Amino acid sequence: MIDLSIPPEDARLRDRVRAFVEQSIIPYEQDERLTSHGPTDELRIELNGLARQAGLLAPQVSRHYGGMGLTHLQRALVFEAAGYSTLGPIAMHCAAPDEGNMHMLEVIASEQQKENFLRPLAQAKVRSCFAMTEPHPGAGSDPGQLTTRADRDGEHYVINGLKWLITGAEGAGLMIIMARAFDGGQELGPTMFLTKLPQPGIRIARTIGSIDSSFTGGHAQVAFAGVRVHRDDALGEIGQGLRYAQIRLAPARLTHCMRWLGAATRAQDIAKAYAGKRRAFGSTLMRHEGVGFQLADNEIELHMSRLAILDVAWRLDKGDHARHESSMAKVFVSEALFRVADRCLQVLGGLGLTHDTQVERIFREIRAFRVYDGPSEVHRWAIANRLARAQEAR
C-alpha cells in the first residue's frame, strides 16, 4: 500500500501556518498599502516582521541561511496554507520571484556569492528579481531568442539589452540577469549574472499595468546600458544559464501550484459559506443542483490538484528532476484552479463581481498563472515532444 498520510509534526506545522495567516495576515487584506502594482515594501517589511516573530520566515531556505529548511513535501503543505491569503506568501517570504531565486542560489552559487547575495535575501533584508523575459523579438517562452548581451571586458562583462515583465524589479536589492555572453567574437552562451541594486546602467523604463497585483514591486520593463558585472559574479559556469534556469523553474512551477491551491481553497470556502446561507426559490443555493454541482466539481479539482502537487514534491525530494511531471502538474493545476475560481465567482453572483470578498481578486490572480512560468501551450508541447521521443526510441 502507498501511504499518503501526513506525519503529525507536518500536519501541526501546516495548521500553525494556517492559523497565522487567518489571525495575523488576513486582516491586512484591506490595507491601503495594497496597490495595483502589489503590496508596498513598507507593508511587506511589516508582514515579514510578523512571520519572523512567529518563526515562519523563508520556509524553503536551509537553516544555515536563516530559513526553516523544509522538504518539498513539507513545502507543499506550508505553501498551500500560506496561500490562503494572497499576502501569506509575501509575509512568509516564500513568494515569487524570491522563493525561486533563493532555491537557485542555494544550489548553484559559490560560497562567497551565498554570503553576499543569498544570506541577506533569505533574511528578507532585500527583495530580488529574475531578469530573463524580453519583449519581441527577444526571449519569451523560447529562451533561445535571448538578445541581451554580456561582452567580456577584462575582468568584467558589460551588459546591454532590454527586459520586460520583470516581477519585483522596482525596489529590488538583488537582480539575476540572463544574457548571452561573448568574449571578443566568440559566443559563450546564455549566462546568469548577479548584481546588487541600484546599479549604474540599470533603469526601470516603466512599470507595466497587469491583470495581477499580488507581487511586491509589480512588473517592470528594465533597460540595461553598459552595466558592468565582475566575472566572479557570474552565477555558475559561463554559458550554462539555460541549464541552470531549469534548476529554478521546475520547482518554481510547483511552488506556484502550492500557493494558488491555497488561494483557490479560500475562494471555495467563501463560496460554500455564501451558498449555505443565501436562499432562493425556497432553499439555500447549495441545495440547488446548478450551484451544488459547481461546488462539487471544485472539491474534485482541488483534491486532484493537491495529489498532483504532492506527487511532484515527492519526486523532487527523491532527487528526480521531474520535468515531465512538473509540466503536467503546471498545466493541470493552473487550469483546474482557474475553473475553481471561476465557479466560485459564479456562485457568488453579483457579490462575486465586487471587492466585498477576495474571490474577484483570486480570480484575476489565478488567471495569470496559466501564462507565467511557461504557458500551458508550451508545457503541452514539451510533454508531447517527450512522448514522441520515447515512442521513437522503442
**Alpha-carbon dihedral sign for residues 378, 131, 190, 325:** negative
Q: Is residue 1 part of a domain?
A: no
- Using the CB atoms, write b or e for 2-35: b if 16+ within 10 Å: eeeebeeebeebbeebbebbeebbbebeeeeebe
Residues 174 and 81 in one domain: no
Over the chain, what is the mean pLDDT? 96
CB 120 within 8 A of CB 126: yes
Q: Each residue of 120-153: pLDDT tens digit?
A: 999 999 999 999 999 999 998 888 899 999 999 9
**Domain assignment of residue 135, yes or no:** yes
Count CB atoms within 10 A of the CB of residue 285: 23
Q: Which residues contact 329 (CB under 8 A, 6 or more apart)?
A: 253, 254, 257, 308, 309, 311, 312
Q: Name the residue range of residue 220's domain.
A: 128-238
Identify whether residues 218 and 148 lie together within a single domain. yes
HSE-up of residue 364 (Cα within 13 Å, Cβ side): 16
List the one residue out of 221, 204, 156, 146 whose CA is nearest residue 183: 156
Q: What pLDDT score was predicted for residue 227?
A: 98
pLDDT at res. 338: 98
Q: List residues bridging with 152 in a β-sheet.
A: 157
pLDDT at 169 over 70: yes
Residue 115 lies in a domain: no
Domain-ending residue, one of 72, 95, 118:
95
Q: What is the spatial distance between Cα 121 and Cα 128, in angstroms, rounded to a whole number?
A: 7
Same domain assignment for residues 66 and 144 = no
Bridge partners (DSSP) of residue 160 are: 149
Please name the residue that has the C-alpha cell 531565486. Answer: 101
Q: Specify whether 271 is located in the same domain as 375.
A: yes
Q: Phi and psi for 7 in degrees, rounded to 5?
A: -55, 140
Query: pLDDT tens-digit profile of 263-293?
Result: 999 999 999 999 999 999 999 999 999 999 9
Say whether both 248 and 194 belong to one domain: no
**Across 209-221, average pLDDT:** 96
Q: What is the pTM of this model?
A: 0.96
Work out the pLDDT band at 1, boundaries 50, 70, 90.
Answer: low
Of the candidates 53, 76, 95, which is a domain's last residue? Answer: 95
Same domain, yes or no: 184 and 310? no
Select from 220, 238, 256 the last residue of a domain: 238
**Total of domains in the chain:** 3
CB 134 within 8 A of CB 161: yes
In the chain, the percentage of residues whose pLDDT exceeds 70 is: 100
Q: Are residues 316 and 375 in the same domain?
A: yes
Residue type (1 letter), 169: A
pLDDT band (50, 70, 90) for residue 249:
confident
In a domain, 190, yes or no: yes
Q: How confident is the model at residue 4 (pLDDT cuts 50, 70, 90)?
A: confident
pLDDT at 287: 96
**In CATH, what number is assigned to the domain containing residue 340?**
1.20.140.10
333 lies in a domain?
Answer: yes
The answer to whether position 123 is within a domain reads no
Compute CA distances 128 → 149, 176, 186, 328, whole Å: 21, 8, 31, 28
225 plus 252 within the same structural domain: no
Residues 251, 220 share a domain: no
**Nearest-angstrom CA–CA distance, 99 and 231:** 25
Q: Do 385 and 246 share a structural domain?
A: yes
Cα diameter, the chain: 80
Q: What is the CATH number of the domain that holds 217?
A: 2.40.110.10
Residue 50 inside a domain? The answer is: yes
| CATH code of residue 18 | 1.10.540.10
Report the distance separating Cα 93 and Cα 85, nearest Å. 13
Query: What distance in Å separates the CA atoms of residue 159 and residue 152, rounded to the nearest whole number?
Result: 9
Give me the helices (H) in the chain, please: 8-20, 41-53, 72-82, 88-92, 98-108, 111-113, 119-122, 241-277, 289-318, 323-348, 359-369, 376-392
- The reply to whether 55 falls in a domain is yes
Note whether 248 and 352 are same-domain residues.
yes
- Which grid coordinates belong to 194? 548577479
Mean pLDDT to the nearest integer, 187-208 = 97
Q: At 81, which amino acid appears?
A: A
Radius of gyration of the chain (CA): 21
d(CA 95, CA 108): 20
Q: Is the domain of 200 the same as that of 295?
A: no
Give the model's pLDDT for residue 246: 84
Residue 122 corresponds to which amino acid?
Answer: A
